[in-house]
Chains A and B, each alone.
Chain A
Amino acid sequence: SAVISQKPSRDICQRGTSLTIQCQVDSQVTMMFWYRQQPGQSLTLIATANQGSEATYESGFVIDKFPISRPNLTFSTLTVSNLSPEDSSIYLCSVEGNRGHEETQYFGPGTRLLVL
């Protein structure tokens, strides 16, 4: 499986500001995914990011709040804009597995965000 890193690992932000999270993979992948895990909850997909095209957002998530970039096959960013305390969550990126295991997703370590 791919090695996935995320930056920052954690952050504390003031309401009204924005945080950009980076996700780096050690191999080229077609699809990258961004999930949110609210405190004590399960994971919910925010959007799917393909290189060279606009991200596809799930119901309840909009581009103005969660803009995503995917400049190449190994990197993506998720920005959480106009932060409010309700945005306090863990944000995780994931990628599909290698050839033959594309249906399996592997996760980065996550970014823990606290909004004050």
Chain B
Amino acid sequence: AQTVTQSQPEMSVQEAETVTLSCTYDTSESDYYLFWYKQPPSRQMILVIRQEAYKQQNATENRFSVNFQKAAKSFSLKISDSQLGDAAMYFCAYRTSQGGSEKLVFGKGTKLTVNP
């Protein structure tokens, strides 16, 4: 079974600085999807960024980018120019590309604090 590990329970960053959140996963599959979700306090879980494993190019969404290292099974999230609104729980998630198993497997999350 696939597993997702987020080794940093908490991280903090100064406003306008850059922070990287770590995620590693374990799978025997060659094709799959990886996601980062953001969950602000008492608010909705929202998609930050997605990566398709067969694409070598790292995904980017404005200030958010990933460093996808397929061989190392690593999928870190970099947040540039951090803003106060970036404070949230961040979850890394894995999804197989095989049909019949559409569930997301989540890591335990990283709580990000942004200091003014």
Chain A residues engaging chain B, CB cutoff 8 angstroms: 1, 31, 33, 41-45, 48, 58, 92, 94, 96, 103-110
Contact B95 A108 (CB under 8 A): no
4 shortest A-B CB distances, which residue pairs?
A107-B45, A42-B106, A45-B103, A109-B44
Q: What is the minimal beta-carbon distance from B106 to any residue of chain A, in angstroms?
A: 4
**Bound-complex Cα distance A33 to B37 (A):** 16
Contact B103 A92 (CB under 8 A): no
Contact A58 B109 (CB under 8 A): no
**Bound-complex Cα distance A41 to B46 (A):** 17
Contact A42 B103 (CB under 8 A): no
Contacts of B109 in A (CB 8 A): 42
- Let me know if B84 is at the binding interface, CB within 8 A: no
Contact B103 A48 (CB under 8 A): yes
Chain B residues engaging chain A, CB cutoff 8 angstroms: 33, 35, 37, 43-47, 50, 91, 95, 97, 102-104, 106-109
Known: A41-B108, A45-B104, A48-B103. A108 touches B44 (CB 8 A): yes
Contact A110 B104 (CB under 8 A): no
Closest to A58 in B: B103
Q: Is the interface of A mostly helix, strand, loop or mixed?
A: strand
Contacts of A58 in B (CB 8 A): 103
Known: A42-B109, A103-B97. A96 touches B102 (CB 8 A): yes
Contact B107 A42 (CB under 8 A): yes
**Bound-complex Cα distance A107 to B44 (A):** 7
Closest to B111 in A: A40
Contacts of B103 in A (CB 8 A): 33, 45, 48, 58
Q: What is the minimal beta-carbon distance from B90 to any residue of chain A, in angstroms?
A: 11
Q: What is the minimal beta-carbon distance from B84 to any residue of chain A, in angstroms?
A: 21
